[in-house]
């Protein structure tokens, strides 16, 4: 929009400077350039990022706002309030709940959905703790961060829906649509937390479906009393980010249990190791075991079963 701010300045410490280097290394849209008096200079689409030897960081261009909001704050600064007050949502720390899930794209393991309620006090403490989208946090760091987040929240201010693979496969078999299944999970988490926090009037959900009414339609009576906002990149909301961390922590813990039951490591995600692991699991326990370990609607699982069939 006209008049939108295009220049932002910060002072980074050594840890934050290293985090910015890591961002630069993994974002192909940012290319390194030479600039005097800088330790790191980057150019991207409608964006320049200059980190000077003094520690001063300058982010400039029409793409600066999105870079600060979606990359710099969550991945480098670790907070959504540092030097960026002009674009902050004024309702950021207003009492509300946020929901997020983990395991949606993982062939092995459960689907975990968490709802977390924050107010001004807990929201600021969680932001200061460094809570952010769990996709920017290594799994090895998740457990400690999640434990501290649970301590700040207290038991009354979070709720979860855990679909282990067998339950997930049964429900998917009935629903036959991933977005509808996700909506059902988010709605159940919202309703459970609404029972615990009847004073909550607003819920923020990441927009995983094309229509914003998906979750609202899945809500029952108590949940329908809330204003549900489905938001693109909702993890910038501290309640959603907290739910993201708690959901990932439970997913990782459940994966450890499944690995013990399988007697072998189970890869996360849907990468090239998954077909090999599926084949090894079928060879060890037989094809009937897969619904207890994997989300069976994935094409990769069907292919593994076909390859293991004597008639394939």
Task: Give 199-230 pLDDT, tens digit per residue.
Answer: 999 999 987 765 556 787 788 766 678 888 88
Is 121 among the domain residues?
Answer: yes
- 126 and 153 within one domain: yes
- Domain closes at, from 87, 116, 136: 87
- 187 and 75 within one domain: no
Question: How many domains does one find in the chain?
Answer: 3
pLDDT band at 293 (very low <50, low <70, confident <90, very high): very high
- Domain closes at, from 87, 113, 146: 87
- Domain closes at, from 217, 233, 255: 255
Task: Give 127-181 pLDDT, tens digit per residue.
Answer: 888 888 888 788 888 999 999 999 999 999 999 999 999 999 999 999 999 999 9
- 108 and 222 within one domain: yes
Looking at per-residue pLDDT, the higher value among 18 and 235 belongs to 18
| Residue among 215, 200, 187 nearest 157 (CA) | 200
Q: pTM of whole model > 0.75? A: no
170: left (phi over 0), alpha (psi -120 to 50) or beta: alpha
- 274 and 239 within one domain: no
C-alpha distances out from residue 86 to 27, 71, 115, 125, 226, Å: 26, 17, 28, 21, 28
Task: Give 2-24 pLDDT, tens digit per residue.
Answer: 446 787 878 888 989 999 999 99
- 284 and 138 within one domain: no
CATH of the domain at 76: 3.30.310.10
Per the structure block, which two tokens stand in for 227? 């204003």
Task: Give 264-291 pLDDT, tens digit per residue.
Answer: 999 999 999 999 999 999 999 999 999 9
| Residue among 253, 248, 241, 255 nearest 153 (CA) | 241
CATH of the domain at 114: 3.30.420.10
- 283 and 217 within one domain: no
**Helix pair 273-285, 299-308: axis angle to 10 deg:** 50
């Amino acid at each position: 929009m006209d008049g939108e701010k295009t220049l932002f300045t910060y002072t980074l410490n050594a840890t934050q400077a290293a985090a910015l280097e890591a961002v630069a290394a993994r974002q192909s849209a940012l290319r390194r350039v030479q600039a005097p008096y800088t330790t790191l200079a980057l150019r991207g689409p409608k964006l320049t990022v200059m980190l000077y030897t003094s520690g001063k960081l300058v982010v400039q261009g029409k793409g600066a706002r999105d870079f600060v909001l979606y990359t710099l704050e969550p991945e480098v600064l670790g907070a959504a309030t540092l030097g960026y007050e002009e674009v902050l949502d004024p309702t950021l720390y207003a009492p509300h709940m946020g929901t997020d899930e983990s395991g949606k794209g993982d062939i092995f393991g459960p689907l975990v959905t968490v709802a977390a309620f924050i107010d001004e006090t807990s929201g600021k403490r969680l932001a200061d703790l460094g809570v952010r989208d769990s996709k920017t946090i290594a799994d090895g760091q998740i457990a400690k961060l999640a434990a501290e987040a649970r301590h700040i929240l207290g038991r009354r201010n979070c709720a979860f829906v855990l679909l282990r693979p067998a339950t997930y496969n049964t429900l998917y078999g009935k629903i036959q649509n991933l977005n509808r299944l996700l909506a059902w999970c988010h709605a159940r988490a919202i309703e459970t937390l609404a029972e615990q926090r009847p004073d909550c009037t607003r819920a923020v959900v990441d927009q995983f479906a094309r229509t914003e009414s998906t979750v609202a339609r899945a809500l029952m009576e108590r949940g329908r009393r809330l204003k549900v906002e489905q938001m693109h990149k909702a993890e910038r909301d501290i309640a959603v980010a907290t739910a993201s961390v708690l959901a990932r922590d439970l997913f990782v813990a459940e994966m450890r249990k499944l690995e013990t039951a399988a007697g072998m490591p189970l890869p996360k995600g849907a990468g090239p190791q998954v077909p090999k692991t599926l084949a090894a699991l079928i060879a060890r326990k037989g094809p009937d075991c897969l619904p207890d370990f994997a989300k069976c609607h994935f094409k990769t699982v069907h292919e593994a079963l076909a390859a293991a069939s004597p008639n394939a």
